[in-house]
Chains A and B, each alone.
Chain A
């Protein structure tokens, strides 16, 4: 793909996805086993995060990684656009996709517990091309709520696409 085509594609994406809600939502069921296994990777031993299920165990903060990855892949794969009469996804090649940044905000949020059903929705809040290295960046605001409609984490994810990936 030449530079002009990349610039054209980047401009198409900027015009069409910036400010756009990602279609649909995704739901994740949280299992005790997933939470505890995740915490153990980090060597966490505090019973608050790895104790028995019936003693009020909650997810450690890093567990946000678990639902972030699952959600973003599901949401991004569902992203369909029509460019010049052809359907395309946000990424033309997922192998060119880089996780460039991440922000978790838990202010006003509740803990994640086993049995929770989380619903994830997302919106593209920025899209830009850096011509110096022809990297294309998008920022997504992802809201995660539990079955009671209470927020559990607000996430901003920055994704970068290398040449040929957008």
Chain B
């Protein structure tokens, strides 16, 4: 059960989705009617200067509403009032999409959230000699820009196989409001 008295400012709701595939983009295109081929056809996306297909902006937006629907157990404990986002960064195939909603303010039965969707894009794994032993789609297709490096978005961490290079970028910042019944 979710009650207003159980929530605190700073509390975080979180979801991680690692199923962004070309098949999912095709399924979403069919289901949503957004059939722009930059989301489903690499050749067209490359011609548009995108280096490969990109996720539909509203596809990732839908994971925000799902986060709240799951939290409210599909209307059992409250309702979703508003979600607003800015679409700043492209979401790519193989990205890990992390959706977080942080309680910003509580007024009576309404709860106001800051929402942020972050993409984690794996680039490659290098061994201790600096040799690439595994390359991901972002490395193969060159999704990481000089600008990403300059902005400090490209990071490294140790994994069992070696050193993983990845980009961590905010794709979708925004806000949301829910209203609880109790």
Q: What is the bound-complex CA distance between A101 and B171, given in angstroms?
A: 11
Interface residue? B66 (CB, 8 A): yes
Q: In the complex where A46-B74, A49-B74, A65-B61 touch, is A37 in contact with B31 (Cβ < 8 A)?
A: yes
* Chain B residues in 8 Å Cβ range of A70: 33
Q: What is the bound-complex CA distance between A91 and B82, given in angstroms?
A: 29
Q: What is the bound-complex CA distance between A40 and B24, given in angstroms?
A: 11
Interface residue? B58 (CB, 8 A): yes
Contact B81 A38 (CB under 8 A): no
Contact A42 B74 (CB under 8 A): no
- In the complex, which range does the number of interface residues on chain B fall in? 20 to 34
Contact B34 A69 (CB under 8 A): yes
Interface residue? B130 (CB, 8 A): no
Q: What is the bound-complex CA distance between A163 and B63, given in angstroms?
A: 31
A39 to chain B, nearest CB (A): 9
- In the complex, which range does the number of interface residues on chain A fall in? 20 to 34
A161 to chain B, nearest CB (A): 14
Contact A100 B86 (CB under 8 A): yes
* Chain A residues in 8 Å Cβ range of B81: 105-107
Contact A60 B66 (CB under 8 A): yes
Interface residue? A86 (CB, 8 A): no
* Chain B residues in 8 Å Cβ range of A102: 57-58, 61, 84-85, 87
Interface residue? A16 (CB, 8 A): no
Q: Among A40, A98, A104, point to the contact of B83 (Cβ < 8 A).
A: A104
* Chain B residues in 8 Å Cβ range of A107: 81-82
Contact A99 B58 (CB under 8 A): yes
Contact B62 A65 (CB under 8 A): yes
Interface residue? B180 (CB, 8 A): no
Q: Among B62, B68, B79, point to the contact of A42 (Cβ < 8 A).
A: B62
* Chain B residues in 8 Å Cβ range of A85: none
* Seed contacts A69-B34, A103-B82, A103-B83; 12 additional CB < 8 Å A-B pairs: A34-B31, A41-B24, A41-B31, A41-B32, A46-B74, A61-B83, A62-B65, A69-B32, A101-B84, A101-B87, A102-B58, A102-B85
Interface residues of A (CB under 8 A from B): 34, 37-38, 40-42, 44, 46, 48-49, 60-62, 64-66, 68-70, 95, 98-107, 156, 158
| Closest 5 A/B residue pairs (Cβ) | A62-B62, A103-B84, A61-B65, A65-B58, A99-B57
